[in-house]
Amino acid sequence: MDYKKAVQSRRTFAIISHPDAGKTTLTEKLLLFGGAIREAGSVKGKKNSKHAMSDWMEIEKQRGISVTSSVLEFLYDGYHVNILDTPGHEDFSEDTYRTLTAADSATMLIDAAKGVEAQTKKLFKVCKMRGIPIFTFMNKLDRQGRDPFELMEELENLLGIRSYPMGWPIGMGQSFSGVYDRHNKKLELYNPENPKEIDVIQLTGPDDPKLDEAIGEEGLVAQFREELELLDVAGDEFDPELIAKGKLTPIFFGSAISSFGVQTFLEHFLKLSPAPTPRESSKGLIEPLENQSFSGFIFKIQANMNPAHRDRIAFLRITSGKFERGMSVKHVRVGKNLKLAQPTQFLAQSRSIVDEAYAGDIIGLFDPGTFRIGDTLVEGDNFEFAEMPHFSPEFFSAITVKEALKHKSYEKGLQQLTEEGAIQLFKTYNRFAEQQIVGVVGVLQFEVLEYRLKHEYHVDIQLERLPFSFARWADGPAEAMDAFKKSQRNLVTDRDGRIVVLFENEFQMRTAIDKYPEMKFYENSFIKSNS
């Protein structure tokens, strides 16, 4: 295939939302339309039911939530689509933040009854910081929800983004009758008896008498026309340039659970969303279309995707060039060449060996312990991509293994889960008896840690919550650092031996900053921003 055509056909995007907005359901319906699966799973898994394709971990099936990002891939109408399905729960937001670095655009899923929720706001901010296009899918229109104008106003007030509805709903909840496609002048009729049967009627416009015939209810049609007129007069204009800059979000209306509006969304999205975009590196922007030398970065590491084989997979976003199975690349951080012999592509946990892939694609590399999140792989040239976002933990526990005989497995499990980015591991500094401390962004990560160590490494652990709320990486001139280390309590070291100080509250942290003016305190080991 011609290189430029191959790259231009790629679409790599993340789906972001608050928990229970219907994200995993939407993902599965997209896979259905792409022919990647034959039947969608049940997200709230009961004992004998199917589970969502993207929720492949045993704990995800039991809890009915996503706790790790999944990579899903399918072909549709000449496009090669890579979906990054992210955890909606805020306790796993760090995994989501890192995954967003591998996406070129994002789909923001909103429950029409609840509007913009807390986690959506957080994730939206990350997308906005990156300036990527954001597409909005207002979900659950078949249930009673909020007024569409109110939802649009909330997007602007809470998220600071203007919106352009690509379609407009006729009714909602029990009166929901369909959605009018403003661009293609089509009416999609909703049939509550059989939602999968969608009748599409071509119209000359919203005043076409065929619309009255199809809907039947005079009041509903009159309200729809009034709203549409208001939208045409007072709403934002359609502007592909503003969409590309992430300043205008196209809005789609539908119901993921009944597949209504999903295909329309997919078709519009593929035309409006960007092909693989440039990435910042130590030698400037790497342009996928101009730079045909292979390069990529590791944005996620997942241990035990196949528990039977105890394997570890590093997820690589290809940023430029063509990948070929068996090729030799340079691992920049360690300065060594690697042969990439068994690359895989994914449908969540399912995988297949891939012979070639292009910029925009996500591939999995077998990892014997070589990779870290943020590593750069290149062919020929020598440069590194910008660091991964990395966040300070907010919850801490002392961790010990219950059975001394299982210590080796315990250490291996902790090391692998740390390298995945699922937890941060610290060791006490200047103590007679060294203690290990686990730091996480959300408390549910402790439960996942305990579960995975038990089921994947056969190790039982004891967790004892500690009163700390802040971790700050400390640095300064040698003399100031020595004085600080001698006088400061609650010092630990991270996995690279760097000094980290744990604080119980903000007052303690501010006191330390004032007391040691020569010292610098960073929110984490990568992002150099003063706390």
Examine the pLDDT at 527 and tell me if it is beyond 80: no
Examine the pLDDT at 220 and tell me if it is beyond 50: yes
Q: What is the pTM of this model?
A: 0.77
Please, what is the average pLDDT of the chain?
85
Q: Is 184 annotated as a binding residue?
A: no
Examine the pLDDT at 42 and tell me if it is beyond 60: no
Distance, CA of 206 to CA of 224 (rounded, Å): 9
Residues pairing with 353 in the sheet: 344
Is residue 107 within 8 A of residue 137, CB to CB? The reply is: yes
Q: Is 18 annotated as a binding residue?
A: yes
Residue 2 has what DSSP assignment? -
Q: Which two tokens stand for residue 328?
A: 């030799």
Q: Is 20 annotated as a binding residue?
A: yes
Helix, strand, or coil (residue 26):
helix
Helix, strand, or coil (residue 1):
coil
How far are the Cα atoms of 334, 378, 470, 510, 520 from residue 526, in angstroms, in the given order? Answer: 18, 22, 16, 21, 13
Q: Is 21 annotated as a binding residue?
A: yes
Q: Is 139 annotated as a binding residue?
A: yes
Task: Please give the distance of CA 320 from its chain centroid, rounded to a whole number.
Answer: 21
Helices (H), 318-440: 407-420
Q: Is 77 annotated as a binding residue?
A: no
Q: Is 87 annotated as a binding residue?
A: yes
| Side chain identity, residue 467 | P
Examine the pLDDT at 499 and tell me if it is beyond 90: yes
Q: Is 140 annotated as a binding residue?
A: yes
Examine the pLDDT at 50 and tell me if it is beyond 50: no
State residue 88's pLDDT score.
44
pLDDT single digits (tens) 380-408: 888 999 877 667 888 999 999 999 999 99
Average pLDDT over residues 244-251: 96
Q: Is 531 annotated as a binding residue?
A: no
Longest dimension (CA), the chain: 84
Examine the pLDDT at 443 and tell me if it is beyond 90: no
Distance, CA of 30 to CA of 25 (rounded, Å): 9
Q: Is 360 annotated as a binding residue?
A: no
Binned at pLDDT 50, 70 and 90, residue 58 comes out as very low
Examine the pLDDT at 44 and tell me if it is beyond 50: no
* Burial call 149-158: b when 16+ CB within 10 Å, e when fewer: eebbeebeee
Binned at pLDDT 50, 70 and 90, residue 98 comes out as confident
Q: Is 206 annotated as a binding residue?
A: no
State residue 438's pLDDT score.
95
Examine the pLDDT at 423 and tell me if it is beyond 90: no
CA angle 11, 17, 18 (to 5 degrees): 165
Examine the pLDDT at 102 and tell me if it is beyond 80: yes
Q: Which two tokens stand for residue 37?
A: 């699966």
Q: Is 85 annotated as a binding residue?
A: yes
pLDDT single digits (tens) 319-355: 999 999 999 999 999 999 999 887 776 554 456 788 8
Helix, strand, or coil (residue 89):
coil
Distance, CA of 211 to CA of 201 (rounded, Å): 8
Structural domains of the chain ordered from first start: 3-69+88-98+105-272 (3.40.50.300), 279-378 (3.40.50.300), 395-522 (3.30.70.3280)
State residue 59's pLDDT score.
40
Distance, CA of 71 to CA of 44 (rounded, Å): 20
pLDDT single digits (tens) 1-18: 799 999 999 999 998 888
Q: Is 23 annotated as a binding residue?
A: yes
Examine the pLDDT at 20 and tell me if it is beyond 90: no
Characterize the bridge pairing of strands 376-378 and 336-339: unpaired
Binned at pLDDT 50, 70 and 90, residue 63 comes out as very low
For 454, other C-beta atoms within 10 Å of its C-beta total 13
Q: Is 24 annotated as a binding residue?
A: yes
pLDDT single digits (tens) 474-493: 999 999 999 999 888 899 99
Helix, strand, or coil (residue 244):
helix
Residue 385 has what DSSP assignment? B
State residue 308's pLDDT score.
57
